[in-house]
Amino acid sequence: MTFCNWEAKRLLSLALPVFLAQVTLILMSVVDTIMAGQVSPTDLAALSIATGIWNPLLLALQGILLALTGIIAQFSGSDDRKGISHYFQQALYLTAILSFTGFAISYLADTIIFKLDTSPAIANLAYDYIHFVKWGVFGFLIFTVYRNVTEGMGMTKPAFYISLLGLAVNIPVNYIFINGLFGLPAYGGAGCGIATAIVLTIMAIAQVTYCQMSKKIDAKGLLSSFEKPNFSTIGIITKLGIPISLATFFEVTLFACIPLFIAHLGAVAVSGHQIAASVTTLLFMMPLSLSIAISIRIGNLFGQNNMTQLKVAVSTSYILAIAIALFLALITFTGRDYISQMYSDSPAVLALASSIMILACIYQLPDALQVAANGILRGLKYTTPISYITFISYWLIGFCLGFVLARTDIIVPAMGPHGFWVGIIVGLSVAAIFLMLTVHKRLKYEFSNYEALSKS
């Protein structure tokens, strides 16, 4: 594989602001958890249930719109402002459809919440949270569309600054609605739903304002001649986005479901798993950010028809992914005991979390490679294989193997939580192999087309 220093610097310059933005968004969730936990365990439990239902839905809707990054990157690479304008406008129509869908699905949450084996107080607070936060879905998706257009054009810093604004607003607004200041009712943990809806709307306004004022983005120009809905284009975005959405949903639900299948082992098992999952989720933001940067860079080069540099960018992407994986594995291994102590003071929980994090070190490499390959495919606008590869790898192989190892004695004596993590390692390794093979096959196809056009 060829490694290019300039290409690596370009990818890292795109990835760093994305990483900081993603971490900032996660910190908003951390703030909600801390502030709800300070009210009562009931409020914290309600918030956990509500976000467990709501967040996968929101991420699934966002995933469909993530296809826009690669599309815009290709048009930006070929300097096709008309193409950017057309897809930008049609994505706004799609946003309206997805917002209505999310709003409608939120009403199904009632059925899920009240069928859970939990107290009426927790169920009512969780219900209130979802019916408050649903008012932020439109703002979140508008923010996503404008962010994807901005990042597709190679500008990844604005989303970070706007995420910082969101975090700064989140804390005082949470406090107001949780505690009932200025004559408002005290909503407790459910008040985080109101705060989140307000924060997402403010972030959307800030992102739209930036794009309107930016000379490079020139959203005014892109939206000046507004077209009617083009369902063919909306269908293209949706077709490219659904595999990305499903891949995100499969991964989020995989980690969300594991606690349900080890709950019978008691609080120590669930807590140890949760600590390791929390740490690895935060660390995952680094390869995920690189993946977004890769999709932008590959899209730009593909739009420019610069196939020689594209080949260099692909190999550089893989080498960077490997370097990041080794770095994260080193951090996880050396810091596992200290990190665990930040979450708990129970010796049993600490020992379990620390041992699970050793397994997490092993999966850093396949995880980084599979998201890098994912980013390449998104940049090439070839996303269809992503959904079925991730489903087969995560669920049919990873989860099923994990269940067998964790809950049965079929292969080895039941391993408990460790069994699921071994399953994750195998599942991610399978995903990495098949996604990289798909990239290789697709690049071969694109290069043969490029050579045929060059000769004609």
Copy the structure tokens of residue 382. Answer: 């070839």
402 touches 421 (CB < 8 A): yes
Q: What is the mean pLDDT of residues 78-100?
A: 92
**How far from the centroid of its chain's Cα atoms is residue 279's Cα?**
15
Q: Is residue 3 part of a domain?
A: no
Residue 82 clears pLDDT 70, i.e. is over it: yes
| Cα separation, 191 vs 50, whole angstroms | 12
Are 37 and 152 within one domain? yes
| Cα separation, 412 vs 408, whole angstroms | 8
Are 217 and 264 within one domain? no
Q: Is residue 235 part of a domain?
A: no
Are 217 and 253 within one domain? no
* pTM of the predicted structure, to 2 decimals: 0.86
Q: Is residue 301 part of a domain?
A: yes
Are 286 and 380 within one domain? yes
173 touches 195 (CB < 8 A): yes
Are 216 and 339 within one domain? no
pLDDT tens digit sequence for 421-450 = 999 999 999 999 999 999 999 999 888 877
Quote the domain boundaries for residue 376.
240-455
| Cα separation, 5 vs 2, whole angstroms | 10
Are 99 and 130 within one domain? yes
Are 126 and 202 within one domain? yes
pLDDT tens digit sequence for 228-268 = 999 999 999 999 999 988 888 888 778 777 776 776 777 67
The total of other beta-carbon atoms located within 10 Å of residue 343's CB is 17
Domain count, the chain: 2
Is the model more confident about 231 or about 56? 231
Q: Is residue 305 part of a domain?
A: yes
Q: Is residue 234 part of a domain?
A: no
Q: Is residue 424 part of a domain?
A: yes
Specify the pLDDT at position 263: 67
| Cα separation, 230 vs 241, whole angstroms | 17
Contacts of 446 (CB under 8 A, 6+ apart): 302, 307, 380
pLDDT tens digit sequence for 304-345 = 888 889 999 999 999 999 999 999 999 989 988 887 887 667
CA dihedral in degrees (225, 229, 230, 236; nearest 10)? 110
Phi, psi (rounded to 5 degrees) for 223: -105, 5
Alpha carbon distance, N-terminus to C-terminus of the chain: 30
Are 178 and 289 within one domain? no
Are 209 and 307 within one domain? no
Q: Is residue 4 part of a domain?
A: no
229 touches 171 (CB < 8 A): no
Residue 20 clears pLDDT 70, i.e. is over it: yes
**How far from the centroid of its chain's Cα atoms is residue 308's Cα?**
30
Alpha helices (runs of H) in 263-399, residue ranges in sequence order: 267-304, 307-341, 347-379, 384-391
Are 58 and 175 within one domain? yes
Specify the pLDDT at position 146: 94
Q: Is residue 171 part of a domain?
A: yes
Are 111 and 207 within one domain? yes
